[in-house]
Amino acid sequence: MNDFTMPESHTVRIARNVTALSDMLRPHRERGRRIGFVPTMGAFHAGHLSLMRTSHAACDVTVVSLFVNPTQFGDASDLAAYPRDEAGDARLAETAGADILFAPDVAEMYPVGFDTRVSVGAVALPLEGVARGTSHFEGVATVVLKLFNMVRPTVAYFGQKDFQQTCVVRQFVRDLNVPVDVVVRPTVREPDGLAMSSRNVRLSPAAREQARALSEALFAIEHAVAHGERDVAGLEALGVRALAARDIGPRDIEYLAGTDTEKLQPVSRVTGPTLFAVAARVGGVRLIDNIIVAPTAT
């Protein structure tokens, strides 16, 4: 076999534009290698790294994109406050097996004259669609489709933490015949249950304590379902009480809802896989989390 073998230890290469990315990927593509892709907005934590490791284990080459996409932020101050640490991210990505870090600037992604939006239907409307407006998932779908076309991955990896985002991506991949396998990996949590998020670094120590309430609410719901509770309104109320126990009140909660796992429509009973999703502001930081529960056979 005259194919070169990849060295065991490797350094991550940084591509700033599509030409450099294509040049780096060409030898892999020509050899028909599996290209794994992890789209991110940077400020890496263990959740991002688990996606990279999964890709590294399953694919021949792993591309990670780092792009804080302005079009998915409705709130300019949220965009401005989004944590950024490219040098730290490059080091972490390397330890997790990433081969290429694609870090374009805004002008590379949205050159002058850019004028197309990908608009996904029903699944983009509830939950985050209500809380952040319809432009949020248009921004997400548009940038992810652009990134798919730039990287042309075999497989793309996403986290369950952004469950609705995975539904939006699956929808446009199916509808637009995008040749990529979408893999969703479990949410990685801090030891106390808080879902890892780039935004967690913005929590004050007091807000960090309060933030535990989101996963406590979801685990309380999971526990109640395991013990036979099926009434979704009752389960939502249980979750709201868990949030209130850490002083997260109705004005802080954007939603806490039980829905089906396909179109994310409200359900009244847990009769099959059911998503419980929560979004709340904690100490000025917007956090989301979710869990999927199912009735047990007992």
Angle at 140 between CA 287 and CA 96, to 5 degrees: 70
* Residue in 101, 150, 167, 188 binding ligand AMP, rule: CB under 6 A: 188
CB of 250 to ligand AMP, least distance (A): 26
Beta bridge partners of 260: 274
Choice between 82 and 295, CB closer to ligand AMP: 82
Tell me: does residue 12 bind ligand AMP (CB under 6 A): no
Structure tokens at 228: 């036979």
Question: Cα separation of 218 and 82, whole Å?
Answer: 26
**Which residue, 92 or 196, is less far from ligand AMP as judged by CB?**
196
Q: Binding of ligand AMP at residue 275 (CB under 6 A)?
A: no
Cβ proximity to ligand AMP, 94 vs 162, nearer residue: 162
91-109 burial: b if 16+ Cβ within 10 Å, else e: ebbbebbbbbbbbbeeebb
Q: Which residues pair with 36 in a beta bridge?
A: 62, 155
Which of 47, 104, 129, 153 is the binder for ligand AMP (CB under 6 A)? 47
Q: Any catalytic annotation for residue 48?
A: yes
Nearest CB to ligand AMP, comparing residues 165 and 259? 165
Enumerate residues 121-180 that contact ligand AMP by CB under 6 A. 158-159, 161-162
The least distance separating ligand AMP from the CB of residue 148, rounded to whole angstroms, comes to 13
How are beta strands 274-282 and 285-293 bridged, if at all? antiparallel
Among 28, 48, 56, 136, the active-site one is 48
DSSP string, 186-213: PPPB-TTSPBP-GGGGG--HHHHHHHHH
Q: Are 280 and 247 in contact (CB under 8 A)?
A: no
Calpha distance 135→73 (Å, rounded) = 8
Nearest residue to ligand AMP by CB is 159
Q: Which of 41, 221, 243, 278 binds ligand AMP (CB under 6 A)?
A: 41
Query: Does residue 51 touch ligand AMP according to CB under 6 A?
Result: yes
Site residues (vs ligand AMP, CB under 6 A) = 40-41, 47-48, 50-51, 158-159, 161-162, 185, 187-188, 195-198
What positions carry a catalytic annotation? 48
